[in-house]
A and B are shown apart, each in its own frame.
Chain A
Amino acid sequence: MIYKTSHTFPKGGIHPPEYKLTQNVPIKPLPVPKSVIIPLSQHIGAASAPVVAKGDHVKTGQVIAAANGFVSSNIHSSVSGVVSKIDTVIDASGYRQSAIFIDVQGDEWIDSIDRSVSVISEIELAPEQIIEKCRELGIVGLGGATFPSHVKLAVPKDKKCSILIINGVECEPYLTSDHRLMLEKGEETLIGIKILMKALHVEKAMVGIESNKPDAIEHLKELSKRFDGISIHSLTVKYPQGAEKQLIKTLTNREVPSGKLPIETGAVVHNVATAYAVYEAVQKNKPLIERVVTITGKSLSAPGNYLVRIGSPVNSLIEAAGGLPDDTGKIVSGGPMMGKALQNTGIPTSKGMSGIILFPASESIRGETGPCIRCAKCIAACPMNLEPHLLANASMKAMFERTESERITDCVECGSCSYTCPAGRPLLDYIRLGKSTVIKMARERNLK
């Protein structure tokens, strides 16, 4: 199949300042902390059920919580030690969730994991075995949405997947974890892509990378000569290029129909970090117990990229990056456009955490809000071609039927509207309110 590939998506988008402070800082392993808190809800779907109890000894890589249904994921211990308690903790979502607390003793890994540095490029497992491996070893989407990978790889029988799209866009300002991973683990990542291609029975994979990472593009282009069917695409820098629907549009010129899943276009999208995690799971038998996290901020003395054991508290990362700056006013997990503000520094890292950004107090507070002057900049910025001012206003006035007919549920919550609004209106806040209400209304309607 021939796709009409362009350099960017046609409608909307913004150009926030990039601040990729850590793009030249190599990935370093973060020292194993004294204790970890491993949340049981690190993925989309049902929370996992603990299979260990207080006082149990666990090894690094051992299953400590099992998937609770199909759309769920296994969770493994990222350290060795003793389970001190199973309790609730406020995590990055801002809600109190169940978690397993482990006091670290040494670093004893389970035997099945291949910890050697050798690169294994021969893919021996069959497609079904690959999907089973991903399920067993707790692989979830590492781009931020944390959708369990085995669910995404199991294409419904009546649908056909014709292309694999790999998201190396990293369009959020500040974040560089995917960038560094592509540079330092390029070969492994490409093998991971081959594994995903095998699991999906596709011949072709396209890797989209924004042109502000020329070194990563060059590196992968060079490596990809040895891998059939993988093409590397340099894309124009524009936020939100890394949003799934926008990336599919850019690379295949196909639009995911409103309310449908990407598979309708024949494409399945995975993040580069997920491809690397799949490589480690399938070739090295290693569960998802660590990931690369960018720790950054203008006031940090040593921002960097760290390979972090899942469950390490955020403050262990901040310490490694030179300690908490005095002027810190906000700590964000994820990118500045879509990330979540953290309530405290003791919050554990989780599978979906691609970066931690420390904002100085002066940049932590929103500006004043003025009246809407109907300048239409939000309409021009919306990548989904919605009318954010209208959706926000109707939501504010509780006119939820109207927001539904104006397709509020198509909103991808990229935040371009709020970013661009000259009157500083909190458009996305109101749109989220409207969107969640409309989804609830639709669910109740379906029950009747």
Chain B
Amino acid sequence: MNNQLNVSLSPHIHGRETTQKLMFGVVVALIPTIIASVIFFGAGAIITTAAAVISCVTIEYLIQRFMLRKPVSITDGSALVTGLLLALNLPSNIPLYMIVIGSMVAIGVAKMTFGGLGNNPFNPALVGRVFMLISFPSHMTTWPAPAGFATGYIDAVTGATPLAIIKEGIKNGESISELMLKIPSTAEMILGKIGGSMGEVSAIALIIGFIYLLYKKIITWHIPVSVIGSLALFTSILWIANPDIYAGPSFHILSGGVLLGAIFMATDYVTSPMNPKSMILYGCGIGILTAIIRIWGSFPEGVSFAILIMNAFVPLMNTYIKPKRFGEEVKNG
């Protein structure tokens, strides 16, 4: 006994949760999706993922070590998650230098400029992705067709995404029923045998990740369910009104980045609202904006933009939408 007692304020015990564990929980939830992307896109998927993760973590390290001269916190896992999410939002045959540039924007501009973890208003991976989409539009919208274990890097045949097929077709005056024959079957879309960014193709892998996140209580159901629900509701109304020019809800949910966005991007802790009421509003905003951009915007896909737009409203929501406090306006009797 060294005769020294610690005197600190309560509580004297702490839960086992740590930031690092939560971040690695997200990484674990992404494993099925990473495996699916490797199955469909082969070696390119591995190279792209590795490049994005290594550049994100390295850039965070360099900025903290040499520019900010602060303690390095890359072990918290947040840069790793950003790198993975950025990679999963890219085509698997994109040139490596573009990935490095995208990572620099994601970590350097979108995250560290605002003060690092916890302070960034916009989702870093999405800022990186949108920057790349605007800077390298052709590379970012030319996807390799899923070819099974392709061993090469840029040798796959490029295939358009279902969303691009629909967008192009509607413009040319074709009806949805004709276009539906050109796109992959629902089963293929659930499995992921479609063109698109690496991480968005396999619905089944993403949903396994979602169940894991819920089970581990890393996220709550509010945001993903309201994103998907509002998108389904909005597109159903249009589809019922005119099925010739509007695609149905199941197509909208399974195509593009809706599931990846709803489950992994919109639920990013730092850039999403903090109380359940705001979470539902935020999710509905993302779902409806996604549909609007897809149907009437100039881009075939709108999930990234929708999330970034709603990110901008989060501080407002956190300030003005308040949970109902215990004992507030009580009606007893």
Chain A residues within an 8 Å CB radius of B274: 374, 376, 379, 387, 389
Chain B residues within an 8 Å CB radius of A330: 5-8, 12
Q: Let me know if A16 is at the binding interface, CB within 8 A.
A: yes
Q: Let me know if B330 is at the binding interface, CB within 8 A.
A: yes
B5 engages A342 (CB within 8 Å): yes
Docked Cα-Cα span, A387 to B9, in Å, equals 20
| Interface size counted on chain B using CB atoms at 8 A | 41
- Shortest beta-carbon distance from A152 to chain B in Å: 19
The tally of CB-CB contacts under 8 A between chains A and B is 165
- Report A319-370 residues with CB < 8 Å from chain B CB: 324, 326, 328-332, 334, 336-344, 357, 359, 361, 363-367, 370
B18 engages A422 (CB within 8 Å): yes
Docked Cα-Cα span, A311 to B21, in Å, equals 45
B19 engages A422 (CB within 8 Å): yes
Contacts known (A14-B15, A420-B15); A407 close to B325, Cβ less than 8 A = yes
B326 engages A245 (CB within 8 Å): yes
Chain B residues within an 8 Å CB radius of A420: 15, 17
Docked Cα-Cα span, A338 to B10, in Å, equals 5
- Shortest beta-carbon distance from A270 to chain B in Å: 20
Chain A residues within an 8 Å CB radius of B15: 14, 16, 419-422
CB nearest to B9 among chain A residues: A429
B118 engages A374 (CB within 8 Å): yes
> Which among A254, A372, A419 is the interface contact of B11 at CB below 8 angstroms?
A419
Q: Let me know if A256 is at the binding interface, CB within 8 A.
A: yes
Q: Let me know if B119 is at the binding interface, CB within 8 A.
A: yes
Docked Cα-Cα span, A406 to B13, in Å, equals 27
> Which among B1, B6, B119, B325 is the interface contact of A384 at CB below 8 angstroms?
B325
Docked Cα-Cα span, A257 to B332, in Å, equals 9
Q: Let me know if B155 is at the binding interface, CB within 8 A.
A: no
B1 engages A326 (CB within 8 Å): yes
Q: Let me know if B69 is at the binding interface, CB within 8 A.
A: no
CB nearest to A340 among chain B residues: B10
Chain B residues within an 8 Å CB radius of A339: 10, 12
A371 engages B116 (CB within 8 Å): yes
Chain B residues within an 8 Å CB radius of A55: none
Contact with B along A9-29 (1 / 0, CB 8 A): 001001010000000000000
- Shortest beta-carbon distance from B45 to chain A in Å: 28
Docked Cα-Cα span, A334 to B13, in Å, equals 13
Q: Let me know if B270 is at the binding interface, CB within 8 A.
A: yes
- Report A74-108 residues with CB < 8 Å from chain B CB: 94
B330 engages A432 (CB within 8 Å): no
> Which among B119, B323, B327 is the interface contact of A387 at CB below 8 angstroms?
B323
Docked Cα-Cα span, A140 to B76, in Å, equals 48
Q: Let me know if A410 is at the binding interface, CB within 8 A.
A: yes
B13 engages A419 (CB within 8 Å): yes
Docked Cα-Cα span, A383 to B323, in Å, equals 12
A383 engages B5 (CB within 8 Å): no
Q: Let me know if A302 is at the binding interface, CB within 8 A.
A: no
Q: Let me know if B96 is at the binding interface, CB within 8 A.
A: no
CB nearest to B272 among chain A residues: A374
Q: Let me know if B269 is at the binding interface, CB within 8 A.
A: yes
Q: Let me know if B51 is at the binding interface, CB within 8 A.
A: no
Chain A residues within an 8 Å CB radius of B73: 370
Docked Cα-Cα span, A340 to B5, in Å, equals 12
User: Chain B residues in contact with chain A, CB under 8 A?
Assistant: 1, 4-15, 17-19, 21-22, 73, 76, 78, 116-119, 220, 269-270, 272, 274-275, 318, 322-328, 330, 332
- What are 18 of the A-B contact pairs (CB < 8 Å)? A328-B1, A330-B7, A331-B5, A334-B10, A343-B5, A364-B6, A374-B272, A379-B274, A387-B274, A407-B328, A415-B10, A418-B11, A418-B14, A420-B15, A422-B15, A423-B19, A424-B14, A428-B10
Known contacts A14-B15, A264-B332; can you find 14 more A-B pairs with CB under 8 A?
Answer: A245-B327, A254-B330, A255-B326, A330-B6, A336-B11, A336-B13, A339-B10, A361-B6, A375-B22, A390-B318, A418-B11, A419-B11, A420-B17, A424-B14
9 closest cross-chain pairs (CB), A and B: A415-B11, A371-B118, A376-B274, A258-B327, A422-B17, A364-B6, A384-B326, A341-B7, A375-B269
